[in-house]
Chain A
Amino acid sequence: MTRPDGGRGGTARGSAPRTGPRHPGIGATVGRVALALALAFGGLAAGAGYWQVIRSADLSSSPDDAAVIAASRRVARGDITDRDGVRLAWSVLDSNGEPYRKYSSRSISGVIGYASRAFGSAGLERSYDAQLTGVAAADPVQDLVRKFRTEPSDPQAIRTTLAAELQQAAVAALGSDRGAVVMLDPRTGEVLVLASTPIFDASAIADPQTSTATFAALQADADLPLLPRATQGRYVPGSVFKIVTAIAALGSGAVTAATTFPEQPGAEKAGLLVGGYRVRDGHHPATGSTALDLIGATEVSCNIWYALAGLQTGGDALASWAAKLGFGEPIPFDIRTATSQVTNGGGTFGGGFSDAVELANASYGQAETVVTPLQMALVASTIANNGILMRPHLVQAFIGKAGTVSVNPEVWRRVLPADLAGEIAAAMKQAVEGRLGRQFTTGARVSGMTVAGKSGTAELGGTGEPNSWFIGFAPADDPQIAIAVIVEQGGRGAERAAPIAGKLLAVWRSWAGR
């Protein structure tokens, strides 16, 4: 018998074995639901963390952000100047007292872009919308203070690394052709010229009176003037890509500067049989019977030698050394960049190549290889700077009322040992200054200064003129400027791009020596 519990008697417990399995009662199921809800709230916390920490910086300084928009309507954006303080962009007030943008020259349109009330922004104006309007300070401490003010306190001016004079010269040299020029200091990564043609009138887009008509006309233009070719144009590189192949071949140790291929002289006549396909090259009358080394092959731009070097290096190594130079992903830069590639990828041959034929062709810059002018300028810059690739940058300093925040040069990638870079530099010097090189790359030479470089003629297939390329640096013995020139369908590299490079290097020389 059981008496009531609570100290007055025993309990009814333990008298009989339990029947059936124990199932959870309400207490247990409630506990599980509580756990499930706690997990769901953990998911909320993770979601909040994602947006508020990981995506915080890019969303809150995006030109689509309400705070940025609100500021840009009220605030006169900061000036943009070139490296010497020459104003490139500034704000004026319209009749309602609302600010709009003016630009010094059409030559900077591809890099500075535009900022328009109606059509948003592009180029550097877009990248640094938040800084120019003062919504985001470059300095995190200033950023904390700024958040308390309705009016963004500090629209900042930007001093770029551009040289307005050189930029102007580059656009003039490209003339009426479509193309791009990139010039940068290989020692610091400072970009002096980032020219794209055709140019457009950014002031007309920014001016509320003319913006609609201007923008519509530019969008309809078949020459795509709004495309910043220097950073977002993707071109078949042709022979300028041989420098990438050389970097991969020497860097991986598969080939040395002295390596020769016995089959090369014969293959120049009959073509090189690769996987049942014949890689052909024009016969070089002066060197056709000798087995060339790196310098010789570069001087006469021998496709066969580079195809053999690429095959010896292997697809994996070529792709991974190209990746060290920035291929395969957008180059981290102040304005948006397109991705350069050595192959479409997906192949099984190694490095994403589909077979030996594609690798052989890619080794001298045909096949599925496409590059941006900026990327090729970085290739030249790497060789010029003893194998060290500096991070390219376009801004020297953000200048606000509260102070100036400078951008310092930094090493991006250590690509090659200095001795190997020196061997490739010697080959590039030979390609411009050598006895035979002069014939292949006429026009790149500058009197009183040695130039190193490589021209390229990128066959596009079909009947159109090839793209004309040149990459190089100068002075060859103490490089201070690297350059990449592309002229769309400009013919052979030596005919169009190399003379432009020569002309611009001469302009640079007098600019630098002032």
Chain B
Amino acid sequence: MDGTIVAIWMLRLLFLAGLYAFLWAVVRVLLRDLRAAALEPGAELGRLLVLESPGGEPEVGAGFSLDAVTTLGRDVNATILLDDEFVSTMHAALTYRGRVWYLEDLGSTNGSFVNGSPVEGTAPLAFGDELQFGNVRLRLERPRR
């Protein structure tokens, strides 16, 4: 009888210990993920992903890490150069103010579009929005972590 009871106590404690062993294993995975995330490039404010670019510059699939003010246009002095005949020399600017990205059209000939709608002056953006300048389509994405 006593042997049985000792055995049952062992099983009970083993079960509880197993529960914590699982949690410990999970925490190890979580910590490893955290360390891996810390190794990745850090504090960017957002990303632009090139979805369509018939001119080949920028390349489709390329990603740009964005800082607080980013200009886009055909001018070589633009932060991001868009080589497209329908894009003006200084076409538009992306600015990060407060917690929000804004798109400002800098008086371009053919206009700037957010999710297909033309932008007049300045428009707030959300991550995931699709921007179009001339034939170039870009998507604003959340910064990587």
Q: Are A12 and B70 in contact (CB under 8 A)?
A: yes
Q: Are B98 and A4 in contact (CB under 8 A)?
A: no
Q: How far is the CA of A15 from the CA of B59 in the complex (A)?
A: 23
Q: Are B64 and A15 in contact (CB under 8 A)?
A: no
Interface presence of A285 (CB below 8 A): no
Q: How far is the CA of A12 from the CA of B45 in the complex (A)?
A: 11
| Given A19-B95, A23-B98, A148-B5: A2 touches B64 (CB 8 Å cut-off) | yes
Interface presence of A289 (CB below 8 A): no
Q: How far is the CA of A236 from the CA of B98 in the complex (A)?
A: 75
Which stretch in B25-33, B78-86, B107-115, B129-137 binds the other chain?
A: B78-86
Q: Please, which residues of chain A bring their CB within 8 A of the CB of B66?
A: 12
Task: For chain A, give the interface size range.
Answer: 20 to 34
Q: Please, which residues of chain B bring their CB within 8 A of the CB of A13?
A: 44, 65, 67
Q: How far is the CA of A25 from the CA of B98 in the complex (A)?
A: 9
Interface presence of A217 (CB below 8 A): no
| Given A19-B97, A23-B98, A24-B99: A4 touches B67 (CB 8 Å cut-off) | no
B98's contact among A14, A20, A26, by CB below 8 Å, is which?
A: A20
B79's contact among A12, A18, A21, by CB below 8 Å, is which?
A: A12
Q: Please, which residues of chain B bring their CB within 8 A of the CB of A21?
A: 98
Instruction: Count contacts between A and B, CB distance < 8 Å.
Output: 66
| A13 (CB) vs chain B CBs: closest residue | B67
Within the complex, the shortest CB–CB distance from B108 to chain A, in Å, comes to 18
A16's contact among B44, B50, B67, by CB below 8 Å, is which?
A: B67
Q: Are A1 and B81 in contact (CB under 8 A)?
A: yes
Chain A positions 480 through 514: 1 when the CB is less than 8 Å from some CB of chain B, otherwise 0: 00000000000000000000000000000000000
Q: Are B64 and A18 in contact (CB under 8 A)?
A: no
Within 8 A of A (CB), among B87-108: 95-99
Q: Are A16 and B65 in contact (CB under 8 A)?
A: no
| A21 (CB) vs chain B CBs: closest residue | B98
Q: Are A4 and B97 in contact (CB under 8 A)?
A: no
Q: Please, which residues of chain B bring their CB within 8 A of the CB of A19?
A: 68-69, 95-97
Q: Please, which residues of chain A bring their CB within 8 A of the CB of B58?
A: 3-4
Within the complex, the shortest CB–CB distance from A266 to chain B, in Å, comes to 78
Interface residues of chain A: helix, strand, loop or mixed (majority): loop
Q: Please, which residues of chain B bring their CB within 8 A of the CB of A24?
A: 99
| A14 (CB) vs chain B CBs: closest residue | B67
A5's contact among B9, B59, B65, B79, by CB below 8 Å, is which?
A: B65
Q: How far is the CA of A88 from the CA of B76 in the complex (A)?
A: 106
Q: How far is the CA of A145 from the CA of B4 in the complex (A)?
A: 11
A26's contact among B59, B67, B79, B142, by CB below 8 Å, is which?
A: B142
Q: Please, which residues of chain A bring their CB within 8 A of the CB of B97?
A: 19-20
Q: How far is the CA of A309 from the CA of B137 in the complex (A)?
A: 99
Interface presence of A6 (CB below 8 A): yes
A11's contact among B62, B67, B99, by CB below 8 Å, is which?
A: B67
Interface presence of B77 (CB below 8 A): yes
Q: How far is the CA of A14 from the CA of B68 in the complex (A)?
A: 8
B80's contact among A12, A20, A27, by CB below 8 Å, is which?
A: A12
Q: Please, which residues of chain A bring their CB within 8 A of the CB of B142?
A: 26
Within the complex, the shortest CB–CB distance from B98 to chain A, in Å, comes to 5
Within the complex, the shortest CB–CB distance from B61 to chain A, in Å, comes to 9
Q: How far is the CA of A21 from the CA of B100 in the complex (A)?
A: 11
Q: How far is the CA of A22 from the CA of B96 in the complex (A)?
A: 10
Q: Which 7 A-B pairs have the closest CB atoms?
A: A4-B62, A16-B69, A23-B99, A13-B67, A18-B68, A20-B97, A12-B79
| 17 examples of A-B residue contacts, CB within 8 angstroms | A1-B76, A1-B80, A1-B81, A2-B81, A4-B50, A4-B59, A12-B66, A15-B67, A15-B69, A15-B79, A19-B95, A23-B98, A23-B99, A26-B142, A144-B9, A148-B5, A148-B8
